[in-house]
Amino acid sequence: MTLEAEITALVAAGSDADKTTARATFARLRDALSAGTVRAAEPDASCPGGWRVNTWVKQGILLGFRFGDLADVSMDHGKWAFYDKDTLPMRRFGLAAGVRVVPGGSAVRDGAYIAPGVICMPPMYVNIGAYIGEQTLIDSHALVGSCAQIGARVHVSAGAQIGGVIEPIGAIPVIVEDEALIGGNTGIYEGAIIKSRAVIAAGTVLTGSTPVYDLVRGDVIKPTPEQPLIIPANAVVVPGARAVSVGRGPEWGLSLATPVIVKYRDSRTDTRTELEAWIR
């Protein structure tokens, strides 16, 4: 029986599922996720946004939470007290992995794929089900949430929050494609898709329901029931504002935060971001 079939059967059994079998199956899933041979979502040109959600993988991750037992996972001989499910250990990297984990309090849960050449600056955190492509930089105080998919040569800047999406099972996680730049203190949540080489400026917040105003093409980009919010390739997105025209908004001079596409990436943008090459 395949791993997918085993997980599907355990989910169908619900509370009657055998705990020992469920834990063993989840351990296999965790190993496959860590190796990158299984992903919570993967590129698929036939799907909206170009990505397919593997719902059975998300279901399998939830099995790990359901059938795990709370355990003492304290560090430094008990001086740092931590308590978590025993099915969700931290990932340990060897030198052969080719991953640079700089000292200072970072953590990666087992079941997250971290490609060779990735740099983890402290303190950062990567949760289970996440996928991070080669030569990507995860900067200080950055979060990569459950099942988020980050491409190759991406810079996730200091303080950026890449949200996790495990439930609903069929919901697409946050996707950041190759060579995108995610600025400091940004927030990307609820399954937004950032296409390749896009630049999300510092302080921008994008959610699955955020309208984005494209000044270059004269469009308003909105999610639909069929597809999530998609930031186009090469777009440069900055924080903006739009006036509140209802109620007492005009009288009070109110405005709402609104992401705005001000340009599309060109050689000048590349010149300003080529600093990335010097820190890798």
CATH number of the domain bearing residue 131? 2.160.10.10
pLDDT tens series, the chain, 280 aa: 899 999 999 999 998 999 999 999 999 999 999 999 999 999 999 998 899 999 999 999 999 999 999 999 998 888 889 999 999 999 999 999 999 999 998 999 999 999 999 999 999 999 999 999 999 999 999 999 999 999 999 999 999 999 988 887 778 999 999 999 999 999 999 989 999 999 999 999 999 888 999 999 999 999 888 788 999 999 999 999 999 999 998 999 999 999 999 999 987 767 555 545 544 5
Q: Domain ends where: 30, 46, 70? A: 70
Cis amide prior to 225 (ω within 30 degrees)? no
For 278, list phi and psi in degrees, rounded to 5: -80, -15
Residue with tokens 């955190």: 125
Q: How many domains does the chain have?
A: 2
Task: Give the Cα separation of 186 and 174 in Å (integer).
Answer: 13
- Which class for 67: exposed (0-12), middle (13-18), buried (19 or more C-beta within 10 A)? buried
Q: Which range of residues forms the domain containing residue 46?
A: 3-70
Q: Are residues 63 and 100 in the same domain?
A: no
* 239, part of any domain: yes
Identify whether residues 214 and 174 lie together within a single domain.
yes
In sequence order, which residues have a C-beta less than 8 Å from that of residue 15 and are 6 or more positions away? none
Q: Say how far apart CA 146 and CA 165 lie, in whole Å.
A: 6
Q: Are residues 144 and 35 in the same domain?
A: no
